[in-house]
């Protein structure tokens, strides 16, 4: 029975090892996008929906496996599909990939973590659940927390599935919109021969704005505390 519970997690780990051993993660780089941009653009023109489906499945798998390169995949979405379709596709696929990892972690690792962590995990879980949506929304809005960590921790804290999905879908919209916008203007970067600098995307002003949104999401929590 225990082996069955760990089977999804085991499959996930094996898939991650497979990706790194065969160097498939090397395709999730700016240089790879630059090298294959003509082929990708032609694929979109000749077979839009199949290309969009393949892109979506790739995004879901990359997020579920916690692979590096999520930012490049998001930028690629803007480069290939434009602002509107790119943003919608990324938000949907990122949410699906995160939810898949959340479910696997909840099913396979929760009991083990509960045994190892002891009573303090239950106390932390109880406190987190009282304002789970606000906390999760803040973690998603502020781009300082690794995406895969925010996928795993709520699973160990017994956050409800619909709360996780809703907070994830809403919380990633601003950051996704920014990266998609970069992708839409990527042709000019390719034409100039410059390299994409991620530091120029998340500028201090952008970080301050996203952090401000994150703090706003905590207003319900602060109100409850003051009222209490």
Q: What is the pLDDT of residues 18-35, one digit of tens each?
A: 888 888 888 888 889 988
Give the pLDDT mean for 49-76. Answer: 94
Q: pLDDT tens digits for 92-144?
A: 999 999 999 999 888 877 666 666 555 656 666 777 778 889 889 988 988 77
- pLDDT higher than 70, residue 49: yes
Q: Residue 43's Cα: distance from chain center in Å?
A: 25
Q: What is the pLDDT of residue 22?
A: 82
Q: pLDDT tens digits for 150-161?
A: 898 888 888 899
Residues 205 and 214: their CA atoms lie apart, in Å, by 14
Q: Structure tokens of 94?
A: 């990122």
Kindly report which listed range (81-95, 164-178, 214-228) carries the lowest average pLDDT score.
214-228
Note down the domain range covering 42.
Answer: 2-227
Its sign, for the CA torsion 101, 157, 144, 149, is negative
Q: What is the DSSP letter of 143?
A: T
Q: What is the pLDDT of residue 180?
A: 94
Q: What is the DSSP letter of 23?
A: T
Q: What is the pLDDT of residue 202?
A: 65
Q: Residue 134: count other Cβ atoms within 10 Å of its Cβ.
A: 19
- pLDDT higher than 50, residue 1: no
Q: pLDDT tens digits for 182-218?
A: 899 887 777 766 666 666 666 676 677 777 777 777 7
Indicate the SS3 state at residue 146: coil
Nearest to 57 by CA among 77, 43, 41, 71: 77
Q: Residue 30: count other Cβ atoms within 10 Å of its Cβ.
A: 18
- pLDDT higher than 90, residue 76: yes
Q: Are 90 and 176 in contact (CB under 8 A)?
A: yes
Q: Tell me how many domains the chain contains.
A: 1
Q: For residue 197, what are the CA distances in angstroms to 14, 73, 145, 202?
A: 32, 15, 20, 10
Q: What percent of the chain has pLDDT over 90?
A: 37
Residue whose token pair is 């065969």: 22
Residues 66 and 27: their CA atoms lie apart, in Å, by 15
Give the pLDDT mean for 65-74. Answer: 90
> Both ends of the chain: CA-CA distance in Å?
44
Residues 140 and 214: their CA atoms lie apart, in Å, by 8
171 Rama sector, left if φ>0, alpha if ψ -120 to 50, beta otherwise: alpha
């Amino acid at each position: 029975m225990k082996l069955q519970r760990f089977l999804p997690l085991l499959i996930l780990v094996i898939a991650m090892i497979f990706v790194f051993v065969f160097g498939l993660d090397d395709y999730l780089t700016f240089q790879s996008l630059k090298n294959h941009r003509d082929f990708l653009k032609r694929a979109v023109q000749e077979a839009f929906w199949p290309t969009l489906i393949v892109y979506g499945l790739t995004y879901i798998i990359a997020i579920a496996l916690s692979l590096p390169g999520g930012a490049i995949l998001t930028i690629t979405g803007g480069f290939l599909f434009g602002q509107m379709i790119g943003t919608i596709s990324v938000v949907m696929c990122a949410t699906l990939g995160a939810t898949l990892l959340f479910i696997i972690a909840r099913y396979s690792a929760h009991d083990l973590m509960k045994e190892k962590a002891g009573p303090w995990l239950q106390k932390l879980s109880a406190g987190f659940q009282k304002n789970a949506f606000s906390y999760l929304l803040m973690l998603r809005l502020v781009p300082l927390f690794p995406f895969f960590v925010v996928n795993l921790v709520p699973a160990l804290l017994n956050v409800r599935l619909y709360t996780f999905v809703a907070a994830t879908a809403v919380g990633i919209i601003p950051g996704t919109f920014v990266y998609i916008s970069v992708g839409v203007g990527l042709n000019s970067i390719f034409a100039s021969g410059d390299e994409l600098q991620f530091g120029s995307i998340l500028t201090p002003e952008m970080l301050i704005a996203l952090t401000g949104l994150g703090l706003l999401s905590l207003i319900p929590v602060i109100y409850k505390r003051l009222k209490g």
